[in-house]
Amino acid sequence: MTKALVINNNYEKGLIDFLKNLLENGKVKGVFSLKKINKEGDVTFSLISKPEDLDDAVPFYPIMPVNAGSLMSRFTMKQPATESIIAVLKPCEIRAFVELIKREQGSLENITILSFTCGGVYTHRMVADDLITKNLSKYWDAVKSEKILDDLRPACRSCDEFIPYNSDITVDLIGNKDIDKQLTMILNTEKGGNLVKDIKGKNVEKNLNDKKLENFKDKREKEKKKLFDEIDPKIKGLDNLIDTFGKCISCHACGRVCPICYCTVCEFESPDAEYKPSNFETELNKRGALRVPPGTIYFHLGRLDHIAISCVGCGACEDVCPVDIPLSIIFKKIGESVQKMFDYVPGKNTDEELPLSTFEKEELVEYEE
């Protein structure tokens, strides 16, 4: 059993009050959370220092404008947080942040992570069409009753890593019928425990509801299998791959929003990737014709090679794809496959080495001739 604090208040209101309290008492100097930023109700990730500004915070709002792992990286890459900060992050955002930290792109110093069992998020399409608010009650009903909604992003519908790793405080949401009246915060670490010390509420020993979460996981896994099975014929063999990626417009938006794609300049946009006039000659003599700009399949295969090992399946790529290529499922499928090969779960452990930065002397002999 883990220590937990139960506050008799609505999950969202309760959390906002809690965060306010932290700011008011100076326990933290900043809160990272989703927040409404204008009268239209547009929501973005925000850094909040004034308690009153938390009134517009919507920490559990079911959208992911950007994977906030990359935002936390941006915040801490030049300098670790100098004052105490709390960040409300989704499980895949924490995992992305951890993967970035392993690549020296950020630091957990002075940062407390608050997360939750995540029910998934809606698409940018629905954000653009202003459909989120209308769907909120349906969304929370589904979370309470461990249901999977059809209109969530495919990456979320098929996500079985909805319980956060490395969170100091985890809010119990999925399968918790009482969230409208009760905010339950599981205190996973001492850091988390220290923050809630003077907070009014009931101190209990409690775990997440394993049975309900398992039930939920089953459903998610089934959905994942379904989506994986559906994607399979679309990506098997070069011809199918060309069909699937044929409509790609080479905007590289997938890479741009991918939290694991952290390079200053993507190798596929670097001078090395450019074709010289003689390269076009070579290709034309060989093929008779060539799509231009060239390198569509090369880009996606190359990106798979670069990031699949660390792909956290957040789905940001698919969400921004202007031509609806089912990137998130493709990357998740290949990602899980190569991760399994190295027994690696990206973002699970901060001290686990990146598989390509280390080796075992005796391994992978089946790949040798």
Partner 1 sequence: MESKIGVYICECGPNISEKVDIDKVIDAVKDLEGVAVVERYKLLCSEDGKKFLVEQIKKHGLTHLVIAACSPRDHEKTFREVCENAGINPFLFQLANIREQCAWITDDKDEATKKSIRLTKAAIRRVRYHTSLEKKEIEGNPDVLVIGGGIAGIETSLQLASPVRKVYLVEKTSSLGGLINTFEKIYPNMELGSDLIKQKNLEIEKNENIKVFTETEVEKVVGFLGNFEVTVKKTSQDNSSQDFNVGAIVLATGSRLFDPKLTPQYGYGKLDNVITSLEFEKMNLSGKISLKNGKSPATIAIINCVGRDKKGYCSEICCMYSLKFIRYLKEKISNIKVTNFYSDLCIPGKRQQKFYEETKGKNIDFVRSKDIEVNKKADKLEIKYKDENGSKKNLSADMVILAPAVEPTIDASKIAEITSISQGNGGFFAEEHEKLAPISTSTEGVYIAGCAHGPKNIFDSITQAEAASGKILTSLIPGRKIEPEIKVSHISESLCIGCKTCLTVCSYGAISFDEAKKISVVNEVICRGCGNCVAACPSGAANIKHFTFNQLYQEIMEAIQ
Partner 2 sequence: MEKNKEYMPKIIAFLCNWCSYAGADLAGTSRLKYPPSILPIRVMCSSRVDPLFIIKAYLGGADGVLVAGCHPGDCHYDKGNYYTRRRFALLKKIFQDLDLEEDRLTLSWISASEGPKYAKVTTDFTEKVKKMGENSAKNKIFL
Partner 3 sequence: MSQPEEKNKSTVISVKKDLNTAIIDFLKEGIDKQVFDDVIIPMRVPAKDSFAYVLVRNKSILNDGFFLPPVMPVQGGRMVSSVTRLGKKDKKTAIIMRPCETRATIELAKLGQTNLDNLILISMDCPGVMPISDFLKDTNKQLKNFEDSANNLDDKIMRPVCQICDKSSMISGDLHIGTLGAKKGSFYLISNSEKGNELIEKMGLKQNENINSWKEKVKKISEEKKKKRINKNKELKKKIGGLDNLTDAFGKCINCHNCMSVCPVCFCRLCYFESDKVKQPSDDYLSRAKSKGSIRFLPDTMLFHIGRMEHMSLSCVSCGACEDVCPVDIPIAQIFTMIADETQGLFDYVSGRSLDEPIPFVAYKEEELTDMEDSND
Nearest Cα neighbor of 72 from 121, 107, 34 is 107
The span of 7-15, 23-31, 135-143, 353-361 binding partner 2 (CB under 8 A) equals 353-361
Site for partner 1 in 297-326 (CB under 8 A): 306
Under rule CB under 8 A, residue 73 binds partner 1: no
Under rule CB under 8 A, residue 290 binds partner 2: yes
CB of 200 to partner 2, least distance (A): 51
Rounded CA gap, 91 and 294, in Å?
36
Question: Which of partner 3, partner 2, partner 1, none is residue 298 near (CB under 5 to 8 Å by kind)?
Answer: partner 2
Cβ neighbours, 10 Å, residue 256: 13
Mask for 329-348, x = binds partner 2 (CB under 8 A): ----xx--xx--xx------
Dump the DSSP string for 152-180: B-HHHHT----SPSS-SEEE--TT-TTTT
| Amino acid letter, 348 | K
Mask for 103-122, x = binds partner 1 (CB under 8 A): xxx-----------------
R_g of the chain, CA atoms, integer Å: 22
Dump the DSSP string for 301-353: HHHHHHHGGG-----HHHHH-TT---HHHHHHHHHHHHHHHTT--TTS-TTSP
Asked if 34 contacts 57 with a C-beta cutoff of 8 angstroms, the reply is yes
Angle at 266 between CA 260 and CA 271, to 5 degrees: 165
Under rule CB under 8 A, residue 1 binds partner 2: no
Question: Which of partner 3, partner 1, partner 2, none is residue 105 near (CB under 5 to 8 Å by kind)?
Answer: partner 1
Question: Which of partner 1, partner 2, partner 3, none is residue 241 near (CB under 5 to 8 Å by kind)?
Answer: partner 2
Among 77, 127, 199, 301, binds partner 2 (CB under 8 A): 301
* β-pairing verdict for 43-48 and 2-7: unpaired
Under rule CB under 8 A, residue 250 binds partner 2: no
* β-pairing verdict for 2-7 and 111-116: unpaired
In the bound state with partner 3, the residue whose beta carbon lies nearer, of 323 and 364, is 323
In the bound state with partner 2, the residue whose beta carbon lies nearer, of 219 and 291, is 291
CB of 119 to partner 1, least distance (A): 33
Rounded CA gap, 139 and 10, in Å?
16
Asked if 76 contacts 107 with a C-beta cutoff of 8 angstroms, the reply is yes
Residues in the site for partner 1, rule: CB under 8 A? 77-78, 103-105, 262-267, 270-273, 278-279, 282, 285-286, 306, 354, 356-358
Residues in the site for partner 2, rule: CB under 8 A? 235-239, 241-242, 246, 267, 286-291, 294-298, 301-302, 304-305, 308-309, 333-334, 337-338, 341-342, 355-356, 359-364, 367-369
